[in-house]
């Protein structure tokens, strides 16, 4: 882990615009995710958050602009930009262990190393006892843990998380949020965290990119003026709530407009 901190890899959104047919979804979105930094992307429904994440992760070609990497990923990283999906995207015919191993099978790692990497990822996510289970046998929270273990197995430099908690109940969300805070605590791994949930954004992110309604533009970039460790303190809660309210006031009107637009669509 110490070695991983010495390398730096920034992810840059450089004037990214995107169109689906005649529909403008993103309009010249630019920001940088510095090495080890957690950046949340929030905005009204349909503002292009997930589209932006797909472009940043190389799964979608932007109509204009580009996603860039600056610097080198950690030497041991097998997939510097790694997604954690909202719907978990687990292979239902594979056990937990096989799901976690899936992205490793086609790498140069030998079987023993793969096994060790999988064991470590399962241990870090508390899944060791469930390695032989199939996804259908797991709760939503456990399935997302498998998704996280699979992401950790390839030792990413930056996690790209697309509303990873939105399909889960509130208690499971809380538990997984604690897991995310713990996993990102040492700054060895950065993250782009797309969410509707402003509470999640202020708890996890170092910076929050607020997008306008469609076509999504960067409306504001908000710095969170305290470390994640400090945010756990009781007296920090008031400040976080105030930040959350500020964010909400930034997007409230547009969220209402976006909702009306969805209803009329």
Partner 1 sequence: MPSARCSMLERAPQDDRVTEVRPVAFRGAGFVPKAGRASGWTALALVIALWQLAGSAGWVNPLFLPAPSAIAVALYKLAMSGALWQHVSASVVRIGSGWLLGTVAGVIIGFAIGLSTLARGVGITFISALFPIPKIALLPLLILWLGIGEEPKIATIALGVFFSTAISVYSGVDAVPRNLIRMAQSFNVPFHAIVTRVIWPGALPSILAGFRITASVALLLVVSAEMIGAQFGIGAFVLQAGNLMQTDQLLAGVVILSLFGLAVGKAINVLETRLLHWR
Interface residues with partner 1 (CB under 8 A) are 57-59, 79, 81-83, 85, 87, 89, 91-94, 102-103, 105-106, 134, 136, 154
For partner 1, give the closer residue by CB, 50 or 63. 50
Query: Which residue from 128, 200, 132 is spatially nearest to 165, judged by alpha carbons?
Result: 200
| Beta carbon of residue 238, minimum distance to partner 1 (angstroms, whole number) | 37
Q: How far is the CB of 77 from partner 1 (least distance, A)?
A: 12
Report, in Å, the least distance between residue 103 CB and partner 1.
4
Residues whose CB falls within 8 Å of the CB of residue 17, separated by 6 or more in sequence, listed in order: 24, 26, 27, 28, 29, 62, 63, 64, 65, 215
Dist. CA 33–CA 179, nearest whole Å: 21
Q: Which is nearer to partner 1, 106 or 264 (CB)?
A: 106
Q: Minimum CB separation from partner 1 for residue 66, in Å?
A: 18
**Cβ atoms 15, 68 nearer than 8 A:** no
192 Cβ neighbours under 8 A, 6+ residues apart:
11, 33, 38, 39, 40, 41, 53, 56, 158, 159, 160, 161
Q: Which is nearer to partner 1, 1 or 105 (CB)?
A: 105
Q: How far is the CB of 194 from partner 1 (least distance, A)?
A: 14
Q: Whose Cβ is closer to partner 1: residue 121's or residue 224's? A: 121
Pairing relation of β-strands 190-194 and 207-211?
unpaired
Decide whether 105 or 116 has the Cβ nearer to partner 1.
105
């Amino acid at each position: 882990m110490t070695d991983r901190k010495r390398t730096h890899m920034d992810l840059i959104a450089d004037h990214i615009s995107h169109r689906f047919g005649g529909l403008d979804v993103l309009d010249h979105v630019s920001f940088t995710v510095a090495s080890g930094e957690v950046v949340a992307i929030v905005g009204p429904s349909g503002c292009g958050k997930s589209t932006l994440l797909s472009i940043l992760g190389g799964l979608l070609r932007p109509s204009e602009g580009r996603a860039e990497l600056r610097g080198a990923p950690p030497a041991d990283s097998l997939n510097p930009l790694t997604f954690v999906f909202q719907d978990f995207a687990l292979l239902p015919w594979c056990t937990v262990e096989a799901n976690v191993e899936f992205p490793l099978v086609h790498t140069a790692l030998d079987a023993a190393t793969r096994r060790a990497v999988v064991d470590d990822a399962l241990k870090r996510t508390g899944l060791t006892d469930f390695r032989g289970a199939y996804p259908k046998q797991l709760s939503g929270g456990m399935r997302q843990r498998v998704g996280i273990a699979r992401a950790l197995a390839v030792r990413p430099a930056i996690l790209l998380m697309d509303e990873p908690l939105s399909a889960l109940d509130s208690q499971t969300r809380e538990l997984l949020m604690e897991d995310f805070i713990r996993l990102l605590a040492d700054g060895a791994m950065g993250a782009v965290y797309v969410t509707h949930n402003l509470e999640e954004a202020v708890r996890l992110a170092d910076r929050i990119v607020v997008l306008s309604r469609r076509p999504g533009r960067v409306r504001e970039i908000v710095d969170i003026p305290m470390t994640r460790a400090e945010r756990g303190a009781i007296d920090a809660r008031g400040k976080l709530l105030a930040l959350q309210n500020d964010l909400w006031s930034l997007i409230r009107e547009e969220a209402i407009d976006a909702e009306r637009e969805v209803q009329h669509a």
